[in-house]
Amino acid sequence: MRTKIAGVGKFVPETVVTNFDLEKLMDTTDQWIRERTGIEERHWVKKGEETSSTMGAKAARIAIEQAGISPKDIDFIIFATLSPDYFFPGSGVILQRELGITDTEIPALDIRNQCSGFVYGLEVADQFIKTGKYKNILLVGAEYHSGGLDISTRGRGVSVLFGDGAGAVVLQPTEEEGKGILTTHIHSDGTNAEILSAKNPGMHGGYHDDDDSIYGYDDKDFSFVLLTEKMMDEGLIHPYMDGQAVFKTAVRKFPEVIIKALKTTGYTTEDVNLVIPHQANLRISQFVQKILKLRDDQMFNNIQKYGNTTAASIPIALADALGQGKIKSGDLVMLAAFGSGFTWGSALIRW
């Protein structure tokens, strides 16, 4: 028995923010953003309009309907996000409430693997389906990035990249010969965990730093470390990224983990109908395409319209690829992700 993707849904907030709109907020240009990232526009949430959980629920409803089941049939929720509604509880239970299925008392698992969250979730779901424990797993990736970005010139290296949105899939067992998830591979290496991070607000208390004076903590032993005025004043509450270091590692790890999935299953790049990489940067995808010698029609990119939506990017891309008729029954589809942690992974699926 294998796991199949029985339904796919996506939701993005209504408001489109173009590169030209960003020119009005910070010192950047449409040309810079396009040339370095391929991004033309992204969707951003208007304050109070949506959260990761509400967007996740909207994407989930579409996936659930496509799977031909009702929300009450879901027996396990897996929610991947780096932008949860609350520090705690996790967004999985909020999503459950949004879907109106709290009375089913099903488990809701939150996973925190950033851009690889969806692939991590897929591997987790696949194990539970294969053991027969669950039959209708809802896996959601959703992000409300824009509310946490520094949209001034100070934050331009990061804020122009990210968009909001959600994607969801329903996973079910299948006995259809040869179909379903063939293999998954997930990895992590925390050596450079802070290279792409949002450390504050956080409970690290400066432990991982040689000099914690940058955070502005008071000198009492038992202190409030979650958030300080200095963090607010100096913008330490926003995501930090060493873009070039991330880029260099990404273009190594994407091909590596894709090849791993191919070797495990005995396929070659020629056999793959469509590679759907996490949409981090069009240039990263182009590098990966070149390294693996993939044709244009084997590579799916939609970062131009959404920016980087982290855990939501693969399911949003999957929904778009299906909507555009780029995936047919029997196709071999490769999902691959790389991101903060570092974490990375791949999944090879016979559709």
Instruction: Enumerate binding residues for ligand UT7 (CB under 6 A).
Output: 28, 32-33, 36-37, 115, 156-157, 160, 196, 243-244, 246-247, 250, 280-281, 284, 308, 339
Q: Minimal CB distance to ligand UT7: which residue?
A: 243
For the bound state, the minimum distance from the C-beta of residue 160 to ligand UT7, rounded and expressed in Å, comes to 4
Catalytic residue among 113, 115, 136, 238: 115
Q: Pick the closer one to ligand UT7 by CB: 247 or 351.
A: 247
Residues 6+ apart with CB under 8 A from 347: 119, 122, 123, 181, 183, 184, 185, 261, 334, 335, 336
Annotated active-site residue 204? The verdict is no
Instruction: Give all strands of the β-sheet with 108-111 in edge-to-edge order.
Output: 2-11, 165-174, 137-143, 76-80, 108-111
For the bound state, the minimum distance from the C-beta of residue 111 to ligand UT7, rounded and expressed in Å, comes to 16
For the bound state, the minimum distance from the C-beta of residue 133 to ligand UT7, rounded and expressed in Å, comes to 31
Residues 6+ apart with CB under 8 A from 123: 184, 185, 186, 345, 347
Q: Pick the closer one to ligand UT7 by CB: 23 or 65.
A: 23
Closest C-alpha to 336, from 183, 195, 145: 183
For the bound state, the minimum distance from the C-beta of residue 249 to ligand UT7, rounded and expressed in Å, comes to 9
Closest C-alpha to 76, from 109, 45, 51: 109
Distance CA 60, CA 281 (A): 26
Place of tokens 């910070």: 26
Q: Pick the closer one to ligand UT7 by CB: 133 or 290.
A: 290
Three-state DSSP string of 256-282: HHHHHHHHHHCCCHHHCCEEEECCCCH
Q: Pick the closer one to ligand UT7 by CB: 120 or 215.
A: 120
Distance CA 315, CA 141 (A): 7
Catalytic residue among 19, 278, 301, 302: 278
Give yes or no for a contact between 86 and 122, defined as CB atoms under 8 angstroms apart. Answer: no
DSSP-assigned beta bridge partners for residue 43:
16
Report strand pairing: 137-143 vs 76-80: parallel
For the bound state, the minimum distance from the C-beta of residue 63 to ligand UT7, rounded and expressed in Å, comes to 23
Annotated active-site residue 115? The verdict is yes
Q: Pick the closer one to ligand UT7 by CB: 136 or 281.
A: 281
For the bound state, the minimum distance from the C-beta of residue 87 to ligand UT7, rounded and expressed in Å, comes to 22
Distance CA 89, CA 294 (A): 42
Q: Pick the closer one to ligand UT7 by CB: 99 or 196.
A: 196
Any idea which residues carry the catalytic annotation? 115, 278, 308
